[in-house]
Structure 1
Amino acid sequence: MTNLSGANLNNGSAVGSQSEGRDSPSNALAAIPKYQAYKDSGVAWLGELPRQWDAIKMKYLYRDTSVKNKASETLLSVTQTQGVVPREWVENRMVMPSGNLASFKFIKKGDFAISLRSFEGGLEYCHHDGIISPAYTVLKAKHSLLCSGYYKYLFKSQAFISELQTSVVGIREGKNISYEELRYSLLPIPKPQEQFSIANFLDQKTAQIDEAIAIKEKQIALLKERKQIIIQKAVTQGLNPNVPMKGSGVDWMGKVPKHWKVKKLRYLGNTQNGISAGAEYFGEGFPFVSYGDVYKNRVLPSYVKGLAKSSSGDQKLYSVLSGDVFFTRTSETVDEIGFASICFEAIDRATFAGFLIRFRTLSTELTKEFSKYYFNAPMMREYFVTEMNLVIRASLSQELLKNLLVALPPVKEQMKIFEYLEDISEKIDASISLQIEQIGKLKEYKSSLINSAVTGKIKVA
């Protein structure tokens, strides 16, 4: 078997590049042996199967079972997104099932459950006895020679899920599929010992791949944290570590260089809430900056998809000009409030949403370049979270925003800080993109490995 140890999967530092070698995930699959002889399975999603394997319709292997009135059993709710949910989650109202609990179906360890209305995630394997929503179909193996570990991977494989989706489109034009239709699907049947070997192989290899992915996700988190620390230090302390410092007057900012100014935002420009209107106002007309445009982007896109039937008066009052800073103003939670997006290029005849506040600088002391990083430094979160007044919805008032203190280096120093942070950000973002790309390859390899093993395209026993 091919070695997929952590050393092979996790090579590459948090900052830097990774070259693919002989043991890289992209080459590992090709290195695993194949069976000596194959035969046509008769169905496209399986393709050719090892000659010694059988292909049998699901109805001969699994039966649809429906046992109810066991509400006293340990409650489980099997869903496509959450898997198996313990009873205590229901009792603590973390998850609330709908309907009469007595109508829920009993499910045993080793059974499979599927929602025939939504099965993008395949069939869910049950790890504990319990009950599930009546919306799910429970499948129980008819034979003891069927290894649940093997079918756990088969039923979650992309090959099988694609077959399910194809069946739905072909039979019901995108609507529900019943088990009466599903049970005619052909399933591969390796020898019992081979089923166990495939399941054990995939348990081991997918665990290694998942560990490699977790390491890279941790690297991404560390890189993002490092970037935020660098930004905050630069916009509050500058680039010269030996410069004399002074107190800023607030704990969340700390000390700043002695020659810098510190002013409230109200003395640097004005603020304006966005436009609020009914649904008929939107969908056509002129460019409209939405909440999502600001929340998702630290620099406002030069092209926005939103449209609004704004008048010339609207376009003047709610204009979007170069140097404007837009803040997310209201949301369900404080965690989404106060995110800033800086406009580098004016958007002609545009207006912006009522869920936003626009700050427009009227002072030459603050550049849009410095604003890009200053208003997105981690300390901003502390200010907004601490000062925000939560009622029903989190809401950022113009008054609170105007009281925000701004550290102001001389303009030339602002530009040097901007250029430094642009360079650092580009390098860190490239490293993050590399890790994301490698995670994507690992996930793709994991999917291919599972597909190949459960359909006999590779020999692991």
Structure 2
Amino acid sequence: MFKKYDAYKNSGIDWIGEIPASWDVKRLKAPLAERNEKNDPIKTDFILSLTMHQGVIPQSEKTGGGNKPKEDLTAYKLARPNDIVLNSMNVIVGSVGLSKYFGVVSPVYYMLYVRDESKTNIGYYNYIFQSQAFQKNLGRLGTGILIKKSEASGKLNTIRMKISMDDLNNELLPIPSFCEQNEIVDFLDRKTLEIDQAIAIKEQQIALLNERKQIVIQKVVTQGLDPNVPMKDSGVEWIGEIPEHWKISKIRYLGATQNGISAGGDYFGTGHPFVSYGDVYKNRVLPETVEGLAKSTLSDQKSFSIQEGDIFFTRTSETIDEIGFASVCFKTIENAVFAGFLIRFRPFLKSPLIKEFSKYYFSSPMMRAYFVKEMNLVIRASLSQELLKNLDVLLPSIKEQKEISEYLDDLTDKIENAVLIKYSEIDKLKEYKTTLINDAVTGKIKVA
């Protein structure tokens, strides 16, 4: 339990409420100034990026490529070590960080530095910008809301709200003494590091659980449940040995493929159910109720229908990493159509492949390895029907497929429940971190 200050007073600031009686209230422009230095003439070609989770980082760490400029860097602004860098479009959702580098940033960023280092700890003000209470408060200053219609789902999304530097300059902030600022920064540096480390451990545990799940799925859908069954070479390099009595077939002999519907933006947003790229990418089993809507005709609904047993594959994306994900339809969605970014595979009547087995087989890691190896990436990654038709499918007996799916249902339920518990623990840690930052920078707790 943290201590409180001896006396408090009304700050006159809605998002803060009461502050310690010894603290002051001043506008942001009193302790901080904007650094508005252009990179003209060129002083550096070291490009910085700002991310919500990593803060200010070299662009090469974000992209994985070289730190090479792709445009005229004279339009960029300079950021120096110990500058607060914030995105004028996204600061209200936490796009802000303290720079450790000398580099250039996008013209939409603001850089703030302290006017007097003998009276001001920049870290304290960085933590104010990290406070969700302060970020929420800044929402009232946002202008120029940008609305964008998603091509895949037809939904309208609010993207950004720009905040002017003039408005920021006039925001009232709590001002502790320089000594207290140092104590708050030292406390929050230590505590947030401990919390971040605890979160990282739980994220690693989640990754290991998910990895174990994928390993078991792949082993069971290729080798079955009986460890003593005689094995044979499948004849497919990426599959390896399989049970001797299992069959194998190209998917082209098991059903028919069909690309989804392509239409302009006006087609989406109202009308009948529309299965989007996201519905398939995020789910092993297709949701029975989807959010997307499309103005589909009866002809569209006949050609691009969604029936029980259908398997949908993500067909095209900016990167190869998002291609070939599969989702199985367990219940027919009436009057629905599906996106042009998808391929539908519809098994023939009396197919030797059941939907319960399909949901695990087509989501196994070896499927991803197959698609990545075989696909040609030019401008956009794309899965062709011909490549999909050439996919090898293992066919245990219907009885074995049911046994395998029941075993995997039980195992994945247990693992996914364990993962949910870890996510819940992470959420509580993040909530604690948020509360700690807010309480420390507003004087609700005394840290020393």
TM-score interval w.r.t. the shorter chain?
Answer: 0.7 to 0.9
- The whole-number CA distance in structure 1 between the counterparts of 2:420 and 2:396 is 32
Given the alignment, which residue of 321, 334, 340 partners 2:320?
A: 334
Q: Do the aligned partners of residues 371 and 325 (structure 1) sit closer, same or farther apart at CA in structure 2, a change above 3 Å counting?
A: same
Match of 1:444 in 2: 431
Given the alignment, which residue of 8, 33, 38 partners 2:3?
A: 33
- Does the 8 Å contact 1:330/1:395 carry over to 2? yes
- Which residue identity is paired with 2:33? R
- Which residue identity is paired with 2:436? L
SS in structure 2 of the partner of residue 451 of structure 1: helix
2:409 is aligned with 1:422: yes
- The whole-number CA distance in structure 1 between the counterparts of 2:7 and 2:131 is 23
Deviation at 1:344, TM superposition (A): 0.6
Given the alignment, which residue of 269, 274, 284 partners 2:255?
A: 269
2:52 is aligned with 1:71: no
- The whole-number CA distance in structure 1 between the counterparts of 2:366 and 2:260 is 25
- The whole-number CA distance in structure 2 between the counterparts of 1:177 and 1:421 is 50
TM-score, with structure 2 as normaliser? 0.86
Match of 2:285 in 1: 299
- The whole-number CA distance in structure 1 between the counterparts of 2:37 and 2:296 is 60
- The whole-number CA distance in structure 2 between the counterparts of 1:367 and 1:175 is 48
Match of 2:147 in 1: none
1:110-149 residue pairs with structure 2 within 5 A? 110-120=82-92, 121=94, 124-143=97-116, 144-149=118-123
1:279-358 residue pairs with structure 2 within 5 A? 279-358=265-344
- Does the 8 Å contact 1:122/1:157 carry over to 2? no
- The whole-number CA distance in structure 2 between the counterparts of 1:404 and 1:100 is 47
Given the alignment, which residue of 146, 161, 164 partners 2:138?
A: 164
- Does the 8 Å contact 1:70/1:131 carry over to 2? no
2:10 is aligned with 1:45: no
CA offsets 1:106-144 (integer angstroms, 9 cap, x no match): 544333344444422265433244554554444332332
- The whole-number CA distance in structure 1 between the counterparts of 2:394 and 2:280 is 23
Match of 1:433 in 2: 420
Deviation at 1:391, TM superposition (A): 3.7
- Which residue identity is paired with 2:400? E
Match of 2:29 in 1: 59
Structure 1, 138-147 or 176-185: larger mean CA deviation:
176-185
- Which residue identity is paired with 2:130? K
- Does the 8 Å contact 1:74/1:129 carry over to 2? no
- Which residue identity is paired with 2:245? H
- Does the 8 Å contact 1:302/1:345 carry over to 2? yes
Structure 1, 270-279 or 215-224: larger mean CA deviation:
270-279
Match of 2:187 in 1: 201
CA offsets 1:153-186 (integer angstroms, 9 cap, x no match): 12322222223223447xxxx9754433333322
2:200 is aligned with 1:214: yes
- Does the 8 Å contact 2:249/2:394 carry over to 1? yes
Deviation at 1:401, TM superposition (A): 1.8
Deviation at 1:54, TM superposition (A): 2.1
- The whole-number CA distance in structure 1 between the counterparts of 2:45 and 2:382 is 42
- The whole-number CA distance in structure 1 between the counterparts of 2:49 and 2:265 is 38
Deviation at 1:446, TM superposition (A): 0.5
- The whole-number CA distance in structure 1 between the counterparts of 2:79 and 2:389 is 59
CA offsets 1:193-250 (integer angstroms, 9 cap, x no match): 2221111111111111000110111111111110011111111111111111111111
Deviation at 1:95, TM superposition (A): 6.7
Match of 1:16 in 2: none
- Which residue identity is paired with 1:110? N
Where in structure 2 are there 5+ consecutive unaligned residues? Answer: 144-159
- The whole-number CA distance in structure 2 between the counterparts of 1:408 and 1:222 is 29
- Which residue identity is paired with 1:43? I
Match of 2:124 in 1: 150
Deviation at 1:34, TM superposition (A): 1.6
Q: Percent identity?
A: 55
Deviation at 1:312, TM superposition (A): 3.2
SS in structure 2 of the partner of residue 285 of structure 1: strand
- Does the 8 Å contact 2:90/2:161 carry over to 1? no
Given the alignment, which residue of 393, 398, 423 partners 2:380?
A: 393
Deviation at 1:413, TM superposition (A): 1.2
- Which residue identity is paired with 1:159? A
TM-score, with structure 1 as normaliser? 0.84
Deviation at 1:77, TM superposition (A): 3.9
2:366 is aligned with 1:379: yes
- The whole-number CA distance in structure 2 between the counterparts of 1:316 and 1:444 is 48
CA offsets 1:8-50 (integer angstroms, 9 cap, x no match): xxxxxxxxxxxxxxxxxxxxxxx12222221221212221112
- Which residue identity is paired with 1:458? I
Deviation at 1:307, TM superposition (A): 3.0
CA offsets 1:361-394 (integer angstroms, 9 cap, x no match): 2234211111111111111111111222334332
- Does the 8 Å contact 1:325/1:340 carry over to 2? yes
Q: Do the aligned partners of residues 187 and 252 (structure 1) sit closer, same or farther apart at CA in structure 2, a change above 3 Å counting?
A: same
Please report the RMSD computed on the Cα atoms of aligned residues, expressed in angstroms. Answer: 2.7
Where in structure 1 are there 5+ consecutive unaligned residues? Answer: 1-30
